[in-house]
């Protein structure tokens, strides 16, 4: 929260709503027998310190809330680093807001793994495929040293309907697959969402 407050050039203050959420969580922990008493120690109160003007996001599986804050027409969201807490807050608070903002736009993504290729050789191929498929974004993630040569590629697109988004991603997926296989690489689809 300190880093976010600095980046947004605002002070860090105790947020009354966040403090109420945290107190309630500790009261529940006492009722469930997870702890003896719900004393609001300085470290617990610190969890309620948010950048001034921020809104806490309820944490259904932990104590520290996430935070959303508006600045210059942009909403910044910060979530706890514990994966289960981050996912729960995202699913309950962030995803519904993204769907509301996106309106009727749908998102489609898929991934593949390529073996026997070198990441630096893939950059021009990715550029070519993204040029030929301007509505598709491709991100590569190396999964080992250059000589091990295992790379994950993630393809994503948005469109007014899921069929269009899927077709766009499929076209880019096929094109990159053919280019990788033409360089002696092996591909394997990973997931489709």
* pLDDT tens for each residue of 114-163: 998 888 889 999 999 999 999 999 999 888 665 557 899 999 999 988 88
Which region among 52-56, 100-104, 116-120, 167-171 has the lowest average model confidence (pLDDT)?
100-104
The pTM of the full predicted model, rounded to 2 decimals, is: 0.62
> Sign of the CA dihedral 117, 132, 152, 123?
positive
Instruction: Give 150 or 170, the one with higher predicted confidence.
Output: 170
Give bridge partners of residue 128 from the DSSP assignment: none
Fold of 106-192: Alpha-Beta Plaits (3.30.70)
Q: Enumerate the domain spans of the chain.
A: 2-102, 106-192
- CA pair distance 193, 183, nearest whole angstrom: 28
Does this chain's domain 2-102 share its CATH topology with 106-192?
no
Record the tokens describing residue 167, joined without a space.
């077709």
* pLDDT tens for each residue of 29-51: 999 999 999 899 999 999 999 99
- CA pair distance 87, 21, nearest whole angstrom: 18
Mean pLDDT on 4-17 = 96
Indicate the CATH number for domain 2-102.
3.40.980.10
54 within 8 A of 15, measured Cβ to Cβ:
yes
User: What percent of the chain shows pLDDT beyond 90?
Assistant: 74
Longest dimension (CA), the chain: 65
């Amino acid at each position: 929260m300190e880093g976010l407050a600095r980046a947004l050039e605002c002070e860090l203050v105790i947020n009354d709503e966040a403090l109420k959420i945290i107190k309630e969580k500790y009261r529940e922990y006492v009722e469930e027998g997870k702890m003896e008493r719900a004393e609001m120690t300085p470290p617990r109160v610190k969890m309620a310190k948010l950048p001034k003007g921020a809104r806490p996001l309820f944490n259904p599986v932990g104590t520290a809330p996430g935070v959303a804050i508006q600045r210059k027409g942009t909403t910044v969201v910060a979530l706890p680093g514990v994966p289960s807490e981050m996912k729960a807050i995202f699913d309950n608070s962030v995803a519904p807001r993204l769907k509301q903002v996106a309106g009727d736009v749908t998102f489609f993504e898929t991934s593949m793994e390529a073996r026997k290729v070198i990441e630096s050789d893939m950059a021009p191929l990715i550029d070519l495929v993204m040029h030929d498929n301007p509505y598709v974004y491709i991100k590569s993630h190396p999964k080992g040293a250059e000589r091990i040569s295992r790379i994950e590629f993630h393809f994503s697109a948005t469109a007014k309907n899921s069929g269009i988004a899927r077709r766009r991603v499929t076209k880019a997926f096929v094109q990159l697959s053919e280019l990788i296989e033409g360089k002696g690489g092996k591909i394997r689809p990973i997931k489709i969402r």
